[in-house]
C-alpha cells in the first residue's frame, strides 16, 4: 500500500484510492487528492469568469458551425422526409386524441370523475 501527501490539505492518503492518475507526474498520480480537486473544480465552475467564458465559447462554436449544421439538417430531411412526415402525422393524431379525451374528462362532474379512473394519472400499477 503506497501513501502520498496531498499538496492542498497536507494529508497522507493511500495513493491508488485517493489520487487521480496523471502521467505528467513522476509517480503517475496527481499532486492533490480527489477531495481537494473536487472542491477546487466546484469553486472554479461557480465563478462568474468561468460562466462568461463558457457563454462566449459556446456562442462562437454555434456561429462557427451554423452553416455546417444547417446543411446537415437539410440533407437529413431530404434523405428521411418520409420517416419525418410519418412521425409528425402520428404526433398530430395523438394530440387530437388527447384533446378529445381531455374535453370529455373536463365535461364530467366531480362525482363522475371520482367514479372513473383518471386517464391522465401517472399511476402504472397495472
Chain CA centroid to CA 114, Å: 38
> Which tens digit of pLDDT belongs to each residue from 29-58?
999 999 999 999 988 888 878 888 888 888
DSSP state of 114: H
Whole-angstrom Cα distance, residue 116 to residue 113? 5
pTM score:
0.44
Which pLDDT score, from 0 to 100, does residue 125 have?
55
Whole-angstrom Cα distance, residue 10 to residue 3? 12
Higher pLDDT, 78 or 109: 78
Q: How many helices (H) and strands (E) does the chain have?
A: 6, 4
Reading the block at residue 108, the C-alpha cell is 364530467
Whole-angstrom Cα distance, residue 115 to residue 112? 5
Answer yes or no: are the C-beta atoms of 31 and 10 closer than 8 Å. Answer: no
Which candidate, 97, 125, 107, 99, places its Cα nearest to that of 116?
107
**Could you tell me the CA-to-CA distances from 35 to 10, 20, 69 in Å, in that order?**
12, 10, 40
Amino acid at each position: 500500500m503506497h501513501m502520498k501527501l496531498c499538496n492542498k490539505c497536507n494529508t497522507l492518503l493511500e495513493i491508488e484510492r485517493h489520487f487521480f492518475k496523471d502521467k505528467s507526474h513522476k509517480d503517475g498520480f496527481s499532486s492533490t487528492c480527489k477531495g481537494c480537486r473536487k472542491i477546487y473544480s466546484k469553486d472554479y465552475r461557480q465563478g462568474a469568469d468561468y460562466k462568461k467564458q463558457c457563454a462566449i465559447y459556446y456562442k462562437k462554436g454555434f456561429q462557427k458551425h451554423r452553416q455546417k449544421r444547417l446543411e446537415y439538417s437539410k440533407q437529413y430531411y431530404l434523405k428521411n422526409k418520409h420517416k419525418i412526415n410519418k412521425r409528425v402525422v402520428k404526433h398530430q393524431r395523438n394530440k387530437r386524441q388527447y384533446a378529445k379525451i381531455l374535453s370529455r374528462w373536463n365535461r364530467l362532474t366531480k362525482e363522475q370523475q371520482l367514479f372513473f379512473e383518471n386517464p391522465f394519472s401517472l399511476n402504472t400499477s397495472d
